Structure 1
Amino acid sequence: MRNTARPKLGILQWLRPGEVERVEQLIRDLRAIGVQELRTGISWADWHSKDGENWYAWLLPRLAQEVNVLPCFHYTPASLGIAPSECSPPRNPKQYADFLDVFITRFGEHFEWIELWNKPRSPAEWNVTLDPDWLIFCEMVGGAAHWARQLGASGPMDAQWVRLMCERGVMQYIDAVGIHGFPGTFEFWWDGWNAKIARVRNVLLQHRSKAEIWITETGYSTWRHDEREQIVAFLNAIRAPAERVYWYSAHDIELTQNALCADKRENYFGLRRSDGSEKLLFRLLAQGGVEAVEHSAWLGKSSNARDGKRPVLITGGCGFIGCNLADALCAKEQPVLLYDNLSRPGVEQNAEWLREKHGELVQIEVADTRDSQTLSSCVQQAAAVFHFAAQVAVTTSLTHPLYDFEINARGALNLLEAVRGLRNPPPIVFTSTNKVYGSLEDVDLRVAGNRYEPIDPGIRACGINEGQRLDFYSPYGCSKGAADQYILDYARIFGLPAVVFRMSCIYGPHQFGTEDQGWLAHFVINAIERQPITIYGDGKQVRDVLYVGDLIRALLLARKNIRTLSGQVFNIGGGVENTTSLRELLALIGELHESRPEIKGANWRPGDQRYYVTDFSKFHTATGWSPRVQMRDGIERLHTWLRQSRLAPERMVATG
């Protein structure tokens, strides 16, 4: 009788000779997510290549130090095949058994099970035109099977294949059957793991086989940016009535010129993206294993709004600003719909915090703004739209400019098109950036102690206003600037009710900044954790800072006054009364933390503004708004909150 406990979880990752660093990264990742089982390929063809034996002599002991290895032996050496191809049947099937004999004799101490071939019903793995009835395959596998406790492989969820192996006598040597399936990615017809496994199990019972059933290959491609569905597919697999599940894979495939003609879906099965960043499933597994993934099952499930109220749509709603706005709206009994792809580490905890605090007032749609269809369906429900979803780092835009453009510019355009198609379009408030003004090289500066200040007395007294010349600098500046201008133009040409905020530095609770974004919180975090802080340039560059609670008031005022404000842009920040240079901020943090942080110096970064201070007088004149929280008070609040969060890391939430 099958064990009814949860299947043992493993990871499938194919490794090629020479990929030493990839192996080490894989080992680190398996440690991080608490997985002890690994399925990987042993290429008979690579064994016969130059340095092939040396590669496996290093690989098997290295992996076995950390995990339980399931080696899958496949790929015929071209010189031994009926045809000169790795998917060809061998001319002499016994040579496959001889290879296993040598390999097991040499490395058998490093694994308990072996798998015989991979996907024999796939033309890419076994050339069926050279073996139409699989007679050679059965002879090859049957001859090899007695060398070790065996794991036989079947094609993707095909009970008929298992029946054939039973009738050919192969199954008498097999202790477990491996099945594959990729529902939601490759399977066009799918009736669930339970039904598929039941068909295989019935065949085994009919032939009196006691073989276990393992899912040796399953996964979900996030090529459509739907990481929530990857979690759903994972949970369905891990709940299947199988003894083991091997999830494919640890890492996305690096996109190269050669990969452009391949099936795009093949590149995105990993738990990590090709740039090394973690997908949501990886983060959940690292936080608490399968239990943490199961606990996340509520993510993406919308609930009915109270009293029939239409929700306010907040894209990027689980990030720093989004969750603070959602909290303020829910406090007034206003339902919110948080539209977020949860790609930034920690934001899922923001979502959980909001759901715990506000219950059914919080709806969550785990989706990407590049998914125009899902975005459009959410826009149709919205009473108002706050568009915060963005790629937020200049450094990321320099290394991945296409990704930066797709998120910032194309995402905004998708939103505008969705709103434009409605009879009664909801108001839009968009958060742009002061980076659209470029490096402000036309603002002449002088040094005054530990800071720069403008020579022009008007700018020195008031800051930078909306009349400043646009000068998009860096791919990030271009993509945000393009979105900025699209919003304004759609308001002008199509009459959409829309406002643009060009924001300065925002800080406050629920922000866990990084060096690239949320720098003020990043400084405080590093001080608390006694980590060095890197200063680019001379540290005299000046910024104005705005407490997030004051920004939320401004956002709500923009929505309230949308009829008179529509089509306009406003600079929003702390203004001249809330400015600091980097050196001055470090001194203040030293006072709060009772020890001055360790400082490291680095060269100026391209496009870095030596001075930016917001002139918010236009918005003040229109609405009466001005900041209430002074800089020192706000930074003290942030410092206190971050210290408390560090004492309770399970409640930590991240910036958006």
Structure 2
Amino acid sequence: MIEAAMIWNEPNNKSHWDPELDPDWRLFAEMAMLAGQAIRAENASLTRVLGGISPIDPAFIVNMKGRGVLDHVDAVAVHGFPLDWNLWRIDEWPQKIEEIRAVTELPIWVSEVGVSSFGAEEVQAWGLERTAQLLAGRAPRLHWYSLFDLPQAWGATTRHKEAEGSSYYRHFHMGLIRADGTPKQALDVFARHAHIFGLMQWFRFEDPRLDDAVAWMKRLGVRRLRTGLSWADSFRPGADLFFDRMMQALADFEVTVTFAFTPEHRGLAPHHTSPPVAPEEFAEFCARMVRRYAGSVRLTPEVSPPAPARVS
């Protein structure tokens, strides 16, 4: 069910990793290496991807390389939202890819790119079309964020709050489909480019949108999906039952699973962005999920893992 395992989400963004607890990312690097080793030991054929960085910062990749993390992944990933949050223009996308390519020979995935419809649906539709023009053929994987709008009642996992103006509210308008289930203008644009893009869609624990998401993705001709299995959620009663249902529902797609989110009771601080008290516990979670949903594939002298996909 899984084609790739992503280790964390936006590790250089304080919405997802606490820089006060780990200012030089030493603890993150230790955790990521253990996770990479555990995934490889469990399934040697699975592509391991360093969690998509946001902002796109070559210095962070250099840091990870210096700490040995890149020796335990097969690709790195970037996230970009130039029409909503980033301080660069949409036409700079090729330059941003090249900035990362200058510091690593690993394949570079674009595991999240999107445009909100907060200001106008026409902006989102134009942004999707322009993004397709700029990124087609530049990365082995392109994942559009996202299929569904985030319901406002759920809240956004971000450092941005209402006091920062539209920065916070844009989080709720990134979907191709509104929270009430009706399509936006950009949905037709995406359908024309579904051969280029996969989708990125988070599913909450016991998410009621799961079946609708599968139906929409099949209707759109989507082949690839990036989603997440939450370490924090794994401690909820019934977690494995929901994980099983979700992964079975997604069995027809090529799925990149993101492993992230520290359980409050296992962090140095009681927050999902905290480094864990015992990083090997995160690695064990990754291995268990790989074993459950990708199966075990061991290396032998006659069998080597496939080379990571590269753009031809």
Query: Is TM > 0.5 for Structure 1 vs Structure 2?
Result: yes
Q: Which ranges in structure 2 are unaligned for 5 or more consecutive residues?
A: 13-22, 149-174, 178-182, 297-312
Q: 2:78 aligns with which of 72, 78, 88?
A: 72
Separation in structure 2 between the aligned mates of residue 24 and residue 280 of structure 1, nearest angstrom: 11
Separation in structure 2 between the aligned mates of residue 280 and residue 60 of structure 1, nearest angstrom: 21
CA shift in 2, pair 1:201/1:173, >3 Å:
closer
Instruction: Check the 8 A contact 1:114/1:148 in 2, yes or no.
Output: yes
Query: Displacement of 1:153 after TM fit?
Result: 1.4
Partner of 1:18: 24
2:109 partner amino acid: I
Separation in structure 2 between the aligned mates of residue 32 and residue 223 of structure 1, nearest angstrom: 20
CA shift in 2, pair 1:117/1:250, >3 Å:
closer
Separation in structure 1 between the aligned mates of residue 62 and residue 98 of structure 2, nearest angstrom: 15
Deviations along 1:291-315, whole A, 9 cap, x unmatched? 7999xxxxxxxxxxxxxxxxxxxxx
Higher relative contact order (CA 8 A, sep 6+): 2
Is 1:153 the equivalent of 2:144? yes
Instruction: Check the 8 A contact 1:219/1:234 in 2, yes or no.
Output: yes
Instruction: Check the 8 A contact 2:34/2:283 in 1, yes or no.
Output: no
Deviations along 1:183-240, whole A, 9 cap, x unmatched? 426x3x2353xx5223212222xxxxxx5222x12234747952x5332233234332
Separation in structure 2 between the aligned mates of residue 281 and residue 129 of structure 1, nearest angstrom: 41
Query: Displacement of 1:71 after TM fit?
Result: 0.4
Instruction: Check the 8 A contact 1:138/1:170 in 2, yes or no.
Output: no
Query: Displacement of 1:139 after TM fit?
Result: 1.9
Partner of 1:171: 193
Partner of 2:203: 182
Separation in structure 1 between the aligned mates of residue 147 and residue 136 of structure 2, nearest angstrom: 21
Partner of 2:229: 219
Separation in structure 1 between the aligned mates of residue 279 and residue 65 of structure 2, nearest angstrom: 27
Partner of 2:254: 243
Separation in structure 2 between the aligned mates of residue 91 and residue 25 of structure 1, nearest angstrom: 31
Partner of 2:61: 56
1:56 partner amino acid: I
Partner of 1:100: 97
CA shift in 2, pair 1:127/1:133, >3 Å:
closer
Query: Displacement of 1:19 after TM fit?
Result: 0.8
Partner of 1:32: 38
> In the TM superposition, what are the counterparts of 1:30-429 in structure 2 within 5 Å?
30-33=36-39, 34=42, 36-43=47-54, 45=55, 47=57, 53-59=58-64, 62-76=68-82, 87-88=84-85, 92-104=89-101, 106-107=102-103, 109-111=105-107, 114-115=109-110, 117-118=112-113, 120=114, 126=116, 128-129=118-119, 133-134=123-124, 135-157=126-148, 160=177, 164=186, 167=189, 171=193, 174=196, 176-184=197-205, 187=207, 189-192=208-211, 196-204=213-221, 212-214=223-225, 216-220=226-230, 222=232, 225-226=235-236, 228-239=237-248, 240=250, 241-249=252-260, 251-252=262-263, 254=267, 256=269, 267=272, 274-276=276-278, 282=284, 285=287, 289-290=291-292
1:164 partner amino acid: A
Separation in structure 1 between the aligned mates of residue 59 and residue 86 of structure 2, nearest angstrom: 25
CA shift in 2, pair 1:255/1:182, >3 Å:
farther
Query: Displacement of 1:69 after TM fit?
Result: 2.1
Instruction: Check the 8 A contact 2:2/2:254 in 1, yes or no.
Output: yes
SS of corresponding position for 2:123: coil
Deviations along 1:42-61, whole A, 9 cap, x unmatched? 33x453xxxxx333224258
Separation in structure 2 between the aligned mates of residue 169 and residue 293 of structure 1, nearest angstrom: 32
CA shift in 2, pair 1:284/1:94, >3 Å:
closer
CA shift in 2, pair 1:12/1:65, >3 Å:
closer
Deviations along 1:126-159, whole A, 9 cap, x unmatched? 5833776312354245323342334131314566
Separation in structure 2 between the aligned mates of residue 169 and residue 284 of structure 1, nearest angstrom: 33
SS of corresponding position for 1:18: coil
Separation in structure 1 between the aligned mates of residue 241 and residue 31 of structure 2, nearest angstrom: 26
SS of corresponding position for 2:33: helix
Separation in structure 2 between the aligned mates of residue 7 and residue 18 of structure 1, nearest angstrom: 31
> In the TM superposition, what are the counterparts of 1:232-631 in structure 2 within 5 Å?
232-239=241-248, 240=250, 241-249=252-260, 251-252=262-263, 254=267, 256=269, 267=272, 274-276=276-278, 282=284, 285=287, 289-290=291-292
Separation in structure 1 between the aligned mates of residue 294 and residue 220 of structure 2, nearest angstrom: 35
CA shift in 2, pair 1:251/1:280, >3 Å:
closer
Larger radius of gyration: 1
Separation in structure 1 between the aligned mates of residue 104 and residue 218 of structure 2, nearest angstrom: 29
CA shift in 2, pair 1:164/1:70, >3 Å:
farther
Query: Displacement of 1:286 after TM fit?
Result: 5.1
Separation in structure 2 between the aligned mates of residue 235 and residue 255 of structure 1, nearest angstrom: 29
Count of residues in correspondence between the two structures: 243
Could you tell me the TM-score, scaled by structure 1's length?
A: 0.31
Q: CA RMSD in A?
A: 4.3
